[in-house]
Structure 1
Amino acid sequence: MTKDDVADALNEIGTLLELKGENAFRTNAYHNAARLLQSLPGDLNQMVAEGKLEEVRGIGDALAEKITTLVTTGKLPYLEELRASVPEGLVQMLRLPGLGPKKVKALHTNLQIDTIEKLKAACEAGEVAKQKGFGAKTQQKILDGLAFIDKVGHRVRIDLALPLGLALLEQVRAFPGVIRSELCGSLRRRKETTGDIDILVSSASPQPIMDAFVKITEVVQVIAQGPTKSSVLAAMHVRGEKATLQADLRVVTDDQFPFALHYFTGSKEHNIRMRQRAIDRGLTLNEYALANETRSVPCKDEADIFAALGLPYIEPELREDTGEIEAGEQKTLPALVKDSDIRGVFHNHTTASDGTASLEQMALATKALGLEYFGVGDHSQSLTIARGLPPGAVRKQWAEIDRVNAKLSGVRIIKGSEVDILEDGSLDYDDELLAGFDYVVASVHSLFAMPEAEMTARVCKALAHPAVTMLGHATGRLLLKREGYKINLEEVLKAAAKHGKMIEINAQPSRLDLDWRYVKRAKAMGIPIVINPDAHSPGELGLYTFGVQVARRGWLTKDDVFNTRSLPDVMKELNRRKQKTPA
């Protein structure tokens, strides 16, 4: 087992003990040990083999014994006993906002709630609100959370699902007998979340490939194994988080591969349109062929399929039946923006607020990515939870930026801030300080429960301020965790267009906000888009790639994205905008 696997097991023990009502000292010992293991240098297996675990401060004899058992056997009887003693429904309840182990335990003890269904029934009957420490607001929050979980199901964010899918694909490609292979489905279309992994292979000998697939390291359970299709449950750790998804492998002949690739890539709506085009031409299109009773149209790849149906090649990200067929007919499909088009990044955090690295470290990491500029976006003063900067700290940071810029070559630090939009739509700094920034990201970080009309007016008022350059994470959503605050995005986009503001695609995979549908709408309204990683560490700077995927799904070209411009062009535009800012 890896460090992450062992840490997961220890965290699970700690959580299960909390659900059983064990004292905090004991439960925290497991959570602390999990964190300690993840930050421990060196090879865990080697430490276990050499008996050096007990030398690590914070890991006593009992913990060392359990870790050793996990590493050497891959199992831990103690954990298995704990799992059997705690109803599975209690663990599922922990997914709900506002429900920690203590509250779940209280619900189980007082109301005998041990399933999601019983929890919903108790909330609807008003029983949860009567419990000490809960109340009507908590009860409604639980009901809202239950509705949200029911809506999103067991989906996984793309930043976790894609690495797992690519890891499986890489191994499948190395199997003897594989001719061609690709990811399909929502992963190939780069949707924000996915419910499973689809892998397609062409081969003349499918059985050995099926036999090898179910034995891949990441496979934790074989669901089904057949002659041309197998399904497994696969899992992998990605940046400290565990991704677990069903993965389906299909094997077709190489002649069938282009048709199967198109079919299993989807979307369903796109495929329906394509099948109708085939019917209009006296043909049938399915996962095996483009043909009729008298002839079959040979296609060596997907481009041949599109050509046979009178269309240019349509990129997978556009296959949502949102106008791509019509654009193909009119030869107006966009040349989509690429990762390599990005020249720099804005809206990033340093140790001055809630980041983990200094200005210089972040700038050097930006340069290492081959980028030209790094835009600082530390939090403003009102966001104390994220160590927001008071005015004096801002001025000190400007001096530090000047000093580091004079020292560095090949990368430029741009002075910016992520300034809070306050309740009344005003900004978190006065106009004099705002005028000193090269750019300003205006964002909402508080009072998410405002009525839609008030939230919309709040954001639109901020967009009217001359100092604002771009709007940050427009809806505040956290994918698979919470829906965004209620806001009329159409009105927000109109305000951005009216006042000449940019809107960001926040590329943090937990956000991916603005959503691609509104990205496409923003483009139609002439609003410049900027792709920001919202990086809080050097390793997060490269997250802009997920923003590029959203931009591609939103039909953006290189010219639609502000940070595809060179440093001189960027500074010229930012300076032009500053001339409109009151001092």
Structure 2
Amino acid sequence: MATVTRETLVATLEEIALLLELKGANPFKTRAYRQGSEIVQNFDGNIVELAANDKLKGIKGFGAALQQKLHELASTGQLEYHNDLKAEFPETLFELFELQGLGPKKIKALYDKLNIDSIDALKKACKSGCIAELSGFGAKSVEKILSSIANREKFADRFRLGDVAPLAETLLDRLRDHPKVSRAAIAGSYRRSKETLHDLDFLVATSEPRELTDFFANFPEVHEVIANGDTKASIRLENGLQCDLRAVSNDHFPFALQYFSGSKEHNVALRALALKQGLSLNEYDFTPSDESAIPEVHEEKDIYAALGLQWVPPELRENRGEIEAADKGELPELIELENLRGTFHNHTIASDGKNTLSEMAEAAREHGLQYLGIADHSKASFQANGLDEERLLNQAREIKSFNANSDNFTLLSGTEVDILKDGSLDFSDEILGQLDYCVASVHNAFTLDEETMTKRLIRAMENEHVTMLGHLTGRLLLKRDPYQVNIEKLIDCAAETRTVIELNCNPWRLDMDWRRWHKARDKGVLCSINPDAHATEQLQFLAYGVRLARKGWLRRQDVVNCRSINEILQWLSLPKNKRS
């Protein structure tokens, strides 16, 4: 039986809801499964264990039908009802749900009226012109569909860091627990904290390599064994992700870890430096070019030390100046997760969040934070139940009341105000001036040309009440490209206006891109690492934000929410142009 996780339960219930919509089932039934997936996602406890042991009875939100289905799925790894529904449709039909802008209703129309049951069929139909003639579609719909298909093809076989991380750590722990493993790590782009990955590279030190490759090839998550040899195995998981394992000796482990962590460009530069010093470096060891003594290496750090370098954190290994900085002893002391004291961009049930103010506050407190900013959507984001002026000010009063009765935790009143098409804001200065802070974000009109979009954002940043700019480029990783905007000009404007730029650490965004942060930091722009949390468990996204901040060369002092609550309150009390 494949391992069942919370994500398995959520995905299955969501897919049942989609299948029921395709069947044209009663909307109430469809909604029940969608609500069930949300309840499971937000459940505070080991939902898989409770479901497997049939102990959900009496817990709010879990009706008899949902209890039964969760029990069957958690205890057997299968759900007969789900399998029966899937059998009614071609398997390739589910590819269409991966396309942006195509919901169940449109997919049902395409399937019922044109018998379109795959992306290939959809692509051909778009080009033939028959979709443009279909009621509810049109020429613009066809253009968007073709663009979405092109994006899917471009992003094929890649996975978001946050989607992979929980499973990656589970597999790593399993390898570490094996009695014949002395050391284990994940190398590759995962270790370097790239925002998207092609595969996972596992590495173990062992005296029994074949035993480990066999062990790896028999993981319950395996969908396909690609290869299994004496020292290396490759598998494909049920989600399509390829995982490779290399089993090496304990002596070779530091060299293998350095080599397979990459990047290729970093390794080429490092090997060139080694050659200048009379050493050949590869994944096995150092080899002197003469009779010189071989440097003693027990840990990866010893490799860098042997070359006269500071140890380079994996996140920085992209050949973007890290070797030169390490040679001069000038690598930054990178931010750590425990440095964070609070966060600003979070949502509640007042807009499109899943939890109340107090629930979000308690979850943040459990994460060791001192404060939490509440930034629900503004009224222009009607699709997200955005707040109007009256609701926003009522929420600010509720936050003030909460703080009056809280001794060791503070909520900050804010808003994620929409930046309108012309760069004006969705709330007046009078309203914004009554809040503690303001996150300004773009949520519509993504197709403006670069000059117009840049002017739009600059106008917003010039507003004295805009504390920070949210998800700078609007990208959705592996789904939607960034909108056209001159990021250099935005960074310059942020430095001039003292506007903070957010590092939105929702795994779908991770925006502003890590490649931009080093230059922004050097220009004095402050970062705010924000989870854009719509539920309590999404505060865990902060860990991804820290990983990407480190990749962007950011230090504790570069991230505004590393400041204590007293420091933040003092900072927010200053006029925007006096903040630093």
Are the aligned partners of 1:463 and 1:495 in contact in 2 as well (CA < 8 Å)? yes
Shift of 1:106: 4.5
What is the letter of the counterpart of residue 316 of structure 1? P
Instruction: Map Cα deviations across residues 502-521 of structure 1 (whole Å, 9 max, x no partner).
Output: 11111112211111012222
Matched, 1:150 2:162: no
Measure, in 2, the Cα distance between the counterparts of 1:435 and 1:77: 56
Which of 403, 406, 413 in structure 2 is aligned with 1:405?
403
Which of 244, 247, 254 in structure 2 is aligned with 1:251?
247
Aligned to 1:305, the other structure's residue is in SS state helix
Structure 2: gaps spanning 5 or more residues: 41-46
What is the letter of the counterpart of residue 312 of structure 1? Q
Are the aligned partners of 2:420 and 2:426 in contact in 1 as well (CA < 8 Å)? yes
Measure, in 2, the Cα distance between the counterparts of 1:9 and 1:470: 37
Instruction: Map Cα deviations across residues 72-113 of structure 1 (whole Å, 9 max, x no partner).
Output: 765578866776774443222221112234544544565565
1:269-280 equivalences under 5 Å are 269-280=265-276
Are the aligned partners of 1:14 and 1:28 in contact in 2 as well (CA < 8 Å)? no
What is the letter of the counterpart of residue 248 of structure 1? D
Shift of 1:481: 2.0
Aligned to 1:249, the other structure's residue is in SS state strand
Residue 352 of structure 2: aligned partner: 354
What is the letter of the counterpart of residue 24 of structure 1? A
Aligned to 1:300, the other structure's residue is in SS state coil
Residue 423 of structure 1: aligned partner: 421
Distance 1:545 1:67, change over 3 A: closer
Matched, 1:98 2:101: yes
Residue 495 of structure 1: aligned partner: 493
Instruction: Map Cα deviations across residues 36-77 of structure 1 (whole Å, 9 max, x no partner).
Output: 4774777334449x999xxx85739xx96x888766765578
Residue 201 of structure 1: aligned partner: 204
Residue 65 of structure 2: aligned partner: 59
Shift of 1:11: 5.1
Residue 50 of structure 2: aligned partner: 43
Measure, in 1, the Cα distance between the counterparts of 2:373 and 2:57: 47
Distance 1:244 1:332, change over 3 A: same
Are the aligned partners of 1:7 and 1:33 in contact in 2 as well (CA < 8 Å)? no
Matched, 1:260 2:266: no
Distance 1:433 1:71, change over 3 A: closer
Are the aligned partners of 1:33 and 1:58 in contact in 2 as well (CA < 8 Å)? no
Residue 508 of structure 2: aligned partner: 510
Distance 1:398 1:51, change over 3 A: closer
Measure, in 2, the Cα distance between the counterparts of 1:17 and 1:537: 26
Which of 168, 171, 175 in structure 2 is aligned with 1:168?
171
Aligned to 1:130, the other structure's residue is in SS state coil
Distance 1:426 1:33, change over 3 A: closer
Residue 556 of structure 2: aligned partner: 558
Measure, in 2, the Cα distance between the counterparts of 1:11 and 1:528: 39
Aligned to 2:251, the other structure's residue is in SS state coil
Instruction: Report the TM-score, using the length of structure 2 for normalisation.
Output: 0.88
Measure, in 2, the Cα distance between the counterparts of 1:262 and 1:3: 32
Shift of 1:215: 3.0
Distance 1:475 1:363, change over 3 A: same
Are the aligned partners of 2:341 and 2:563 in contact in 1 as well (CA < 8 Å)? yes
Are the aligned partners of 1:207 and 1:227 in contact in 2 as well (CA < 8 Å)? yes
Residue 238 of structure 1: aligned partner: none
Identity of aligned residues (%): 43
Measure, in 2, the Cα distance between the counterparts of 1:51 and 1:476: 42
Aligned to 1:207, the other structure's residue is in SS state helix
What is the letter of the counterpart of residue 275 of structure 1? R
Shift of 1:580: 7.8
Measure, in 2, the Cα distance between the counterparts of 1:35 and 1:391: 29
Distance 1:73 1:329, change over 3 A: closer
Matched, 1:326 2:333: no
Measure, in 1, the Cα distance between the counterparts of 2:5 and 2:171: 21
Instruction: Map Cα deviations across residues 443-488 of structure 1 (whole Å, 9 max, x no partner).
Output: 1112222222211111100111111111111111122221222211
Which of 364, 379, 382 in structure 1 is aligned with 2:380?
382
Shift of 1:577: 2.2
Structure 1: gaps spanning 5 or more residues: 236-242
Shift of 1:551: 0.8
Shift of 1:191: 1.3
Are the aligned partners of 2:335 and 2:555 in contact in 1 as well (CA < 8 Å)? yes
Measure, in 2, the Cα distance between the counterparts of 1:72 and 1:212: 24
Are the aligned partners of 1:264 and 1:287 in contact in 2 as well (CA < 8 Å)? yes
Measure, in 2, the Cα distance between the counterparts of 1:506 and 1:152: 21
Aligned to 2:446, the other structure's residue is in SS state coil
Q: Which moved more, 1:310-319 or 1:442-451?
A: 442-451
Measure, in 2, the Cα distance between the counterparts of 1:456 and 1:519: 18
Shift of 1:365: 2.3
Instruction: State the superposition RMSD in angstroms.
Output: 3.2
Aligned to 1:179, the other structure's residue is in SS state strand
1:54-133 equivalences under 5 Å are 59=65, 74=77, 86-107=89-110, 113-133=116-136
Matched, 1:524 2:530: no
What is the letter of the counterpart of residue 382 of structure 2? T
Shift of 1:266: 0.9
Instruction: Map Cα deviations across residues 198-237 of structure 1 (whole Å, 9 max, x no partner).
Output: 11001111122222223334334433221111122335xx
Q: Which moved more, 1:331-340 or 1:288-297?
A: 288-297
Distance 1:107 1:357, change over 3 A: closer
**Pairs aligned (count):** 566
Aligned to 2:574, the other structure's residue is in SS state helix
Are the aligned partners of 1:3 and 1:44 in contact in 2 as well (CA < 8 Å)? no
Measure, in 1, the Cα distance between the counterparts of 2:361 and 2:72: 44
